[in-house]
Structure formats: structure tokens, C-alpha cells
Amino acid sequence: MCGIVGYLGKGNAKEVVLNGLYKLEYRGYDSAGMSVFNKKNQRFDMYKDVGRVAHLDSLVQSIDHSPIAIGHTRWATHGKVNQANAHPHFSASERFVVVHNGVIENYRELKARYLNGHHWVSETDTEVIVQLIERFSDELSVEEAVKKTVSLLHGSYALLVLDQDNPERLIAAKHKSPLLIGKSDKGIIIASDLVALAKYSQVYSPLEDESIVVINQAEITLWNRDYVQQELTFQPMDFEDDLTELGEYPHYMLKEIMEQPLVMRKIVDRYFHDDHIVIDEAILEGIRQADRLYVLAAGTSMHAGYIGKRLFENLTEKPLEVHIASEFAYHPPVLSAQPFFILISQSGETADLRACLSHLKKHHYPSLTITNVKTSTLAREATYALELFAGPEIAVASTKAYTAQIAVLAVLAAKVAHRDAGLRESISELAAKMEQYLTQYESVAELVKRVLTKQNAFYIGRGTDYFVSLEAALKLKEISYIQAEGFAAGELKHGTIALIEEGTPVIALNSEPHVALNTRSNLEEVKSRGAMAVTIATEAVAQEGDDIVLPNVDPLLVPIMMVLPTQLIAYYAALERGHDIDKPRNLAKSVTVE
């Protein structure tokens, strides 16, 4: 988690770094800080505080034009959310300044071994990095001191280092946490994500693990893990910066919910040629040869994986298991003889998945990453990658990436099964019907007001509706802070029904005709015990009195339609409670720590 950005050039470093931090705020927003070169006193000044980038912005208003600065936006891992723990961190003499994204697992051992008796200003793991650099720089050049320091670190890091004695140099190092470098004729920018580089770079290059980079006004020097100097290869910047603008919407989440029909059309555009699906043959062959598929993912992406299970098992008759990434990484199950792994990740940076991928690579298993970020680590490091084409997703609560994941899984499963026919039309029709439903999005506000009056709620469903109910509950929890559970409708009576009281909201998702009546009976059971029952149904199974009726679409794609009202329910529940919808408490968009 955390976002870092640094700039050196002819532009105003404060502006560039601030802009980058605003773009990176999705990675953490507990505190924000910046160190910027002050031409008057010829030193790097420090500004940092608890709160958002907007607050930091107000603290640095009066800073003059400066050629060099680094900044950080924090998601706390070690140490409370307070000013002392906010980044950047100074070394003891204040010669060095460091920002860090990642976790140093052996920071206690390093303190004991190299820095015994040192007075620590913060509770962070990061502070050990800057103190070690200072300590080693007594005997070594600064580059060597950084190299020696990072060679001792266990864990993950993307870090930027400034030196008061050489204020025209920025040093960076990275392992496991993402770091990309961008360049224009005005200067050099380095940051955790392409979104922070786009505005100020004509070309960019993602850095490999264990690289060390020294940036001067004139040049960039890159060393690999063996400290051998490398050529940096840049690619043209093709990221459309304006896609991250909020536009007319009050929140990114609402914008992203409304963009979903567009995303479906983009997927059609990118994956179809006429009526045929176009996917790299090597991926298709890899899957066809496998005797079992394994989806590894976390959170919302894992919920998309469950829908993928249904899609693959129905279309290709290949068994598919879904595993929680953080569990699989350290407790892999007994695998089939010829497994094929599908890693689903919006960000492509989730640390739990990266741990899975190192395990897969060690055993030479084939892997496919399905991601929204084509430059991400998981996309680059897996055997194959497929893109979601959902466009940047800024709200922490994932919406359009989830529906894009399901659509891409459907496209992939259909192609593997040689069942392309008609899918293009089905997805296009789905897009039109999603659009039609979303015109009435505001009507959900009324339902939420009437129904979600308690601090707990249930979503229930059968088959794919059960899988969607898991996602619906997660969405409600993460932004409204209502304790919500997604439940297989038939399972409630085996214990959990004890939690139903007068007014407990129970929302049934009902789209599968062969179990529609069973789900209705389960809803009746909770209604008789006082539940505030709500039904969301497709036209195919709808009955009079159902609260939300959704248009019928191709059965393969129904979950994409079913999830829409649940996204809106979460949105309005959070809005009504006055929460920060796009940046819910305790969360970050990209979970880069295990």
C-alpha cells in the first residue's frame, strides 16, 4: 500500500509531486507528506501530517518553485496514524530523507544488529532504512550505502532517497512494490503507478525487482540486482490522463458504476473480430491442455472468480477451483496432474497474489493474469496476461472491474469451448440493458432509506446469485460499514437464521428459474421471523411485488446485471451515512502488503 512519487527537473517539483500524490491517494490516505528543496536555505524541507493530500496541499501553498521533491501517501502498516509515523523520514542528522512503500519484515533484527541504542523518532519499519543509509554512508559512497542497505532488507520496498549534500540527485530502489519511471523533455518523474506519471511523461519504463536507480538532472543510471549497469528501455506513454477525472459525478464510485455499459462495449471492441473472439492461441492451448483450472484472487476479484467457475464448468466442462490468494500462497492444496492457474486482479499488484505467483513460478506452472493494469507486476510476471479494458478504477470499492472480470472470463471460456457464436451480440445487448436499468439509478435511494435501517444485513441467493450475494455484501460492508453477509439461501436455516430479528434486512437475489421458488421460500422463512425482505429478480422469474426487476439477458451474463442494484444499494447506504464513499476507512485500493 502507500504511494510514492519523486520529481527532478525544470518543472515545479511541488506541483508535480502533489499532482502525483492526488492520483496515488487510492493506495492509502492515512497521512501525506513531502520533502522539497528550498532554494533559500539550500535544504530539503519537510511537510507531513495526518490527513489527506488536500491537507498537505494547504501546508505547502507558500513553497516556491523547486526542482526536486519526493512525496508519500500512507496506508499505515507499522505504527499509528500520526505525524511522527507519516513519511518522509529524516535520518538522525537530517542529511537523508526517505519515502517508502512496502514492508520491511526484518526491521527489528536490523535495528538490533546495526543501530543498537539509536533514538527512534517513529514506530515505522521505514525509519530503519534511512538510518542505515546514514550509517553506511560514513564509510561508503551514498550509492554504495543505499545498495548495502537494500541488500539487508527482507520484505518489499519501493523507496526514494534524497541527500542534503547532493540536492540534484534522487536515488530509488525497488523490490516487490511497484515503481515506474517517466521522462519528458522537462524532467524525470518516478512513482508507484502510471497514473501519477502520465501528465508529466512522454515515455515511461516499469522498473524490475532489485533495481537501483540514480537520477541526476542530466541522466538516469540503472543497476540490476547484481549491481551491473543496465540500459533503461522506455515505451511511449499511452495512458489517457483525463480518464481519471471525476467530471459531472459526485463520486468516482457512481461514475464507475455508470461506466459499466461502456466497459462492456470496450470488451466487445477489444476481444472480437467480427463475431469471432480473438485471444492468443497459446493461452487457449494452455487452458485446453489443463485437466483442472485454478483461480487465485482476493476480495471482489475472487468473487468474479466464483462466477468464472460456473462459466468454465458450464462451457468447457473443465473443473475450476477458486482459492483465496492469501491462503493458497502458504497452504497450497493437492493439485491435479496438469493445472492451469488464472490470477484475477484489478490492480495486478496484490501482494497475496504475488506470493502465489512466486510459488507457481518455482514449480513452472502456467499462469494467466487477468488484470485492468497491463503494466502491472502480475501482468508482467505471469506466463500470459489478458486485459480488462475497464479504464482506471479510482474508487476503492470495485465495481466496473468486477463486471469486466466476469465478461472477460465469459469471453475466455467461450473461446476455449469454441462457442464464440452469439456472444458478441449477447454482450452488446447486455450493455444496452445495463444502460437502460442505470437510467433509474436514483430510485435505489428510496429503497435504501426504507430497508437498511439496521447495523446488519443479509444478501441471499442460489447458484450464481449466491456468488453475487458475496460481492453485494462485501460492497455494502466496505463503504457503508453495515455488517453484511452473503449467504446461500438454503443454508440460512442451518444456524444463521438465529440472527434474524424484527426489521433485519434480507435481500434476495433471484435470477435462476429452476431455483427461483426455493429462494422465495427461504425469503418467506425469514419474513415470518420479522425480516425486512427485499427481492431483486430478473424478468424471467419476477412476481408481483418484487422490489427491483431487471431485464433478461443471456444466462451466461446474468450476474453482471444482478450486481448493478447491489452496487447502488451500497453507494446510497454510504451516502446516507455521510461516509467518504471513494475512500472508505481503513482501506486502500491496491493491497500491496501480505
Residues belonging to the active site: 2, 589
Point out which span in 21-29, 110-118, 299-307, 355-363 binds ligand AGP (CB under 6 A).
Answer: 299-307
**Residue closest to 124 by CA, chosen among 104, 150, 97, 147:** 104
| Comparison of 134 and 478: residue with beta carbon closer to ligand AGP | 478
Residue 395 beta carbon to ligand AGP: minimum distance, rounded to whole angstroms: 8
Per rule CB under 6 A, is residue 301 in the interface with ligand AGP? yes
Per rule CB under 6 A, is residue 397 in the interface with ligand AGP? yes
| Comparison of 101 and 211: residue with beta carbon closer to ligand AGP | 101
Per rule CB under 6 A, is residue 25 in the interface with ligand AGP? no
Residue of 163, 259, 478, 546 interacting with ligand AGP (CB under 6 A): 478
| Comparison of 377 and 519: residue with beta carbon closer to ligand AGP | 377
Per rule CB under 6 A, is residue 406 in the interface with ligand AGP? no
Per rule CB under 6 A, is residue 77 in the interface with ligand AGP? no
How many CB atoms lie under 10 A from the CB of residue 45? 16
Site string for ligand AGP, 324-363 (x = CB under 6 A): ---------------------xxx--x--x----------
Measure the CA–CA gap between 146 and 163, rounded to whole angstroms: 11
In this structure, what C-alpha cell is assigned to residue 258? Answer: 455508470
- First vs last C-alpha separation in the chain: 10
Write a three-state SS string for 432-457: HHHHHHHCCCCHHHHHHHHHCCCCEE
Size of the site for ligand AGP (CB under 6 A): 15
| Comparison of 353 and 516: residue with beta carbon closer to ligand AGP | 353
| Comparison of 177 and 350: residue with beta carbon closer to ligand AGP | 350
Point out which span in 209-217, 227-235, 393-401, 534-542 binds ligand AGP (CB under 6 A).
Answer: 393-401
Residue 98 beta carbon to ligand AGP: minimum distance, rounded to whole angstroms: 26
Residue 372 beta carbon to ligand AGP: minimum distance, rounded to whole angstroms: 8
User: How far from 496 is each of 485, 531, 592, CA to CA, in Å?
Assistant: 10, 13, 34
Rg for the chain, CA atoms, rounded: 25
Helical packing angle, 260-271 and 423-438, nearest 10°: 170
Measure the CA–CA gap between 569 and 566, rounded to whole angstroms: 5
Residue of 299, 305, 392, 486 interacting with ligand AGP (CB under 6 A): 299
Contact 344, 368 (CB under 8 A): no
Give the three-class secondary structure for 27.
Answer: helix
Residue 396 beta carbon to ligand AGP: minimum distance, rounded to whole angstroms: 5
Contact 513, 541 (CB under 8 A): yes
Per rule CB under 6 A, is residue 369 in the interface with ligand AGP? no
Measure the CA–CA gap between 390 and 301, rounded to whole angstroms: 13
Per rule CB under 6 A, is residue 398 in the interface with ligand AGP? yes
**Residue closest to 365 by CA, chosen among 284, 280, 279, 287:** 287
DSSP 585: T
Residue 99 beta carbon to ligand AGP: minimum distance, rounded to whole angstroms: 22
Write a three-state SS string for 476-515: HHHHHCCEEEEEEHHHHHHCHHHHCCCCCEEEEEECCHHH
| Comparison of 192 and 301: residue with beta carbon closer to ligand AGP | 301
Measure the CA–CA gap between 509 and 536, rounded to whole angstroms: 5
Residue 357 beta carbon to ligand AGP: minimum distance, rounded to whole angstroms: 12
**Residue closest to 471 by CA, chosen among 481, 484, 489, 483:** 484
Residue of 300, 464, 510, 535 interacting with ligand AGP (CB under 6 A): 300
Residue of 153, 158, 188, 298 interacting with ligand AGP (CB under 6 A): 298
Residue 566 beta carbon to ligand AGP: minimum distance, rounded to whole angstroms: 12
Q: Can you tell me which residue has the cell 463503504?
A: 479
E-only strand ranges, 226-376:
229-230, 235-236, 272-273, 276-277, 292-297, 320-324, 339-345, 367-371
| Comparison of 37 and 239: residue with beta carbon closer to ligand AGP | 239
Measure the CA–CA gap between 15 and 545, rounded to whole angstroms: 55
Residue 175 beta carbon to ligand AGP: minimum distance, rounded to whole angstroms: 19
Point out which span in 157-165, 390-398, 497-505, 566-574 binds ligand AGP (CB under 6 A).
Answer: 390-398
Point out which span in 133-141, 192-200, 296-304, 427-435 binds ligand AGP (CB under 6 A).
Answer: 296-304
How many CB atoms lie under 10 A from the CB of residue 359? 16
| Comparison of 150 and 397: residue with beta carbon closer to ligand AGP | 397
Contact 504, 516 (CB under 8 A): no
Instruction: Calculate the CA 510 to chain-centre distance.
Output: 29
Q: Which residue in the shown chain puts its C-beta closest to ligand AGP?
A: 299
| Comparison of 201 and 301: residue with beta carbon closer to ligand AGP | 301
Contact positions vs ligand AGP (CB under 6 A): 298-301, 345-347, 350, 353, 396-398, 478, 590-591
